[in-house]
Structure 1
Amino acid sequence: MNLRRLWAVVIKELRQMRRDRVTLAMIVGIPVMQLVLFGYAINLNLRNLDAGIADQARTSASRALVMDMVATGVIRPVLQVDTPEELMQALRQGRISVGVVVPADFERRRFEGREAVQVLVDGSDTVVQSAAVQLAQVPLDGVPVRNDRPLRAGSTAAAGQVSVVAFYNPQRRSAVNIVPGLIGIILTMTMVMFTAVAIVRERERGNMELLIATPLSSSELMIGKVLPYAVIGLIQTSLVLVLGLWLFQVPVRGSVLDVYLVAMLLILANLALGLLISTKARSQFQAMQMTMFVFLPSILLSGFMFPFAGMPRVVQWLAEILPLTHFLRLVRGIMLRGARWWELWPEVLALLAFIVVMMVVAITRFRKRLD
């Protein structure tokens, strides 16, 4: 082996990496991104869960109990209602994660040692269930919590005067929470990469110039290129739904049509993002590299792997930009809580806005690059 020739090849590769800004960014950016996300943004110790309060007793003791629960830091009251039915509606719509019900006969129940307070939990997220159990340890004005009764079926509660009842996934099966999210993960990974690579591949082979020479407008060309991938995305959605039901008995409590509707919104959002990447990437390898910069934050910050409520406020604002964040709220709300898409309209509007902005920017950049 000739060390001089070997050294020449090493120098050549280092110089090529230095010229390739995307590769250089990955060498530095990926480790930094993972360190910051796992060290700063990811937090499994949930605090400040959005909660609704239905204090029907409205006594000094009931108000003190609610204040004690808030003092634990687990919940943050964002909604005051009069009835448990209103709390259940808010849970189903995803407006709150926890509901606290204090009945009108709270004082009598408290002194008789019966169940006096009920905590309703959105059990579609098993981490939220675990955090909410801490509320069952709050004593009722000096009356200690009893732990001598067995747990009731369908609830995750410390047996005593404060009970925690989980809805939508009382058995705490992880597949129920993961499978709906997998639809978004698969669509994000495949749609962005397929679109970005497909456009760049046409450019590398010289076909793009031939297409531009036709009477097609830039909008017609780009939309026509991505529509077949929308069909592929719907097929992937169907596969996950069928396999999830068959292998893991994951329920679809809402409308299947609504599931496909919100899946199409995510597909269009990811295709638009892939188009934007394709206007920047110079090769298929660069397109795949840039896709990683989108996919990694999406899987870590969207709430798929780690609880959204445990992230710092600044990181939550960043996660709101990602289409996967809004899709997860939509698909879990529809499949697990039986909500309709119009009840989750803020998430729908967020996806529509993302699609419009990304498509406009991508088409504009496409025209500037290839005119």
Structure 2
Amino acid sequence: MWERIYRMLVKEFIQVLRDPRMKALIFVMPVIQLIMFGYAVTTDVDHIKTAVCDLDKSPQSRALIERFTASGYFTVVDNTNEPERLGELLDRGKATIGIQINHGFADDLKSGRQAVIQTIIDGTDSNTGTVAMDYAQRITQEFSRTRVMSGELIQLALPQADPIELRARAWFNPDLKSRYYNVPGVIAVVVLLISLLLTAMAIVREREIGTMEQLMVTPIRPFELIVGKTLPFVLISFIDVLVVTFIGINWFNVPIQGSLGLLLLGSGLYLMSTIGIGLFISTISQTQQQALMSSFFFYLPAVLLSGFMFPISNMPEPAQWLTYLNPLRYFLVIIRDIFLKGSGLEILWPQFAALAVLGTTLLLISSLRFQKRMV
């Protein structure tokens, strides 16, 4: 039995490595996707396009504008003396935020009156708009606090300091870099896509060129054929896991705090599920085009219902129930917690158990259906 499986394994590797498209899918596509998505998928907001209308032209107003630009969050793209131009720049998409400092700004500061500056924010992208507003408020408050401490402003005329001081510290990701959170998620998504397409399309391709019928008339048993067909994709997908993990750690400088061995164990259970789904897709597809469309029919909802882009807790309750059938949901928790928190099996065992049950069930159902198609 093992000799037949071994020869089947060798045949699959030779067949895959002879196909230029398969080699590109295995070795090139994961790297390109990880690098592309690793840079593109970010929630960090910086270099916000800013238009400034400084009507006061005072040292104080210039110091405030310099505080905005020095923060690194804002990039001044236009300086104007016409307040109407701020709205025009936002309308054309040339600026995300407009800052207007009116006449008398410096005089109000010196006399202890409340000085008002106006910010106009493009709310089309609510996330960027909200973050820009928060940055602007923090910079303005820090500017006022610095002036009070230096004695340039009259402290009694300003709002008193809060009686409670909040000192916040972020664990696991002290600098709150979104890349540390997103890159492990991108790794999981890339592995899902590659293993899904690789399994579904390779098996359907054999059916298209007629070699599957030749295998059916050989002495090999159905179980041996299934193992011989799926095991190469498991090994190849493992190589992809190692490659994209290496790139995530060394290219994007995302530290891994936990055990690499535990991550590989979780990856193995995850691949059981994804390859089981790919095998099932191959049993319902007659052509590679059908397999490709069916793979994306599963892939897109799986990503949306995994917590990769949107928190599961914010989803409607029926959608939350559906996420329990999604292997990506569990692997995202595993890979992010191992990368960022260094969590061990004592914490992640529910996700490991869920992937084991889900993977075994999917492989069993897919194998039975694949075996039925062979009869």
- Once the two structures are aligned, what percentage of the paired residues are identical? 36
What does residue 318 of structure 1 align with? 322
Alignment partner of 1:301 is 2:305: yes
Alignment partner of 1:290 is 2:294: yes
Partners of 1:340 and 1:353 in 2: CA distance = 19
Q: Check conservation: 2:330, 2:354, Cα contact below 8 A.
A: yes
1:271 Cα offset (Å): 0.6
SS at match of 2:169: strand
Partners of 1:217 and 1:359 in 2: CA distance = 17
Partners of 2:305 and 2:296 in 1: CA distance = 14
1:223-248 per-position Cα deviation (integer Å, ceiling 9, x unaligned):
21121122222222222222222222
1:163 Cα offset (Å): 4.5
What does residue 196 of structure 2 align with? 192
- AA aligned to 1:330 is I
Partners of 2:374 and 2:231 in 1: CA distance = 21
**CA 1:159–1:290 in 2, change beyond 3 Å: closer, same or farther?**
farther
1:159 Cα offset (Å): 9.9
1:148 Cα offset (Å): 6.8
Q: Check conservation: 1:184, 1:266, Cα contact below 8 A.
A: no
What does residue 206 of structure 2 align with? 202
Q: Check conservation: 2:272, 2:363, Cα contact below 8 A.
A: no
Alignment partner of 1:272 is 2:238: no
What does residue 227 of structure 1 align with? 231
SS at match of 2:170: strand
- AA aligned to 2:205 is R
What does residue 106 of structure 1 align with? none
Q: Extract unaligned runs of 5+ from structure 2.
A: 1-42, 44-126, 135-143, 147-161
Partners of 1:331 and 1:263 in 2: CA distance = 9
Partners of 2:354 and 2:145 in 1: CA distance = 48
What does residue 11 of structure 2 align with? none
Alignment partner of 1:349 is 2:373: no
Q: Check conservation: 1:179, 1:240, Cα contact below 8 A.
A: no
User: Which is greater in Rg?
Assistant: 2
Q: Check conservation: 1:262, 1:327, Cα contact below 8 A.
A: yes
State the superposition RMSD in angstroms: 2.6
Partners of 1:315 and 1:164 in 2: CA distance = 34
1:276 Cα offset (Å): 0.7
SS at match of 1:167: coil
Partner of residue 333 from structure 2, selected from 329, 338, 345: 329
Q: Check conservation: 2:188, 2:332, Cα contact below 8 A.
A: yes
1:280 Cα offset (Å): 0.6
1:332-363 per-position Cα deviation (integer Å, ceiling 9, x unaligned):
11111111134211111111111111111112
**CA 1:367–1:233 in 2, change beyond 3 Å: closer, same or farther?**
closer
1:165 Cα offset (Å): 3.1
Alignment of 1:1-371 (within 5 A): 160-371=164-375
1:217 Cα offset (Å): 2.0
Partners of 2:316 and 2:168 in 1: CA distance = 26
Partners of 2:346 and 2:224 in 1: CA distance = 30
Q: Check conservation: 1:148, 1:159, Cα contact below 8 A.
A: no
1:215 Cα offset (Å): 2.2
**CA 1:363–1:169 in 2, change beyond 3 Å: closer, same or farther?**
same
1:219 Cα offset (Å): 2.0
1:330 Cα offset (Å): 0.7
SS at match of 1:254: coil
Partners of 1:159 and 1:332 in 2: CA distance = 38
Q: Extract unaligned runs of 5+ from structure 1.
A: 1-43, 45-126, 135-146, 150-157
Q: Under a length normalisation based on structure 1, what TM-score does the superposition of the two structures give?
A: 0.56
Q: Under a length normalisation based on structure 2, what TM-score does the superposition of the two structures give?
A: 0.55
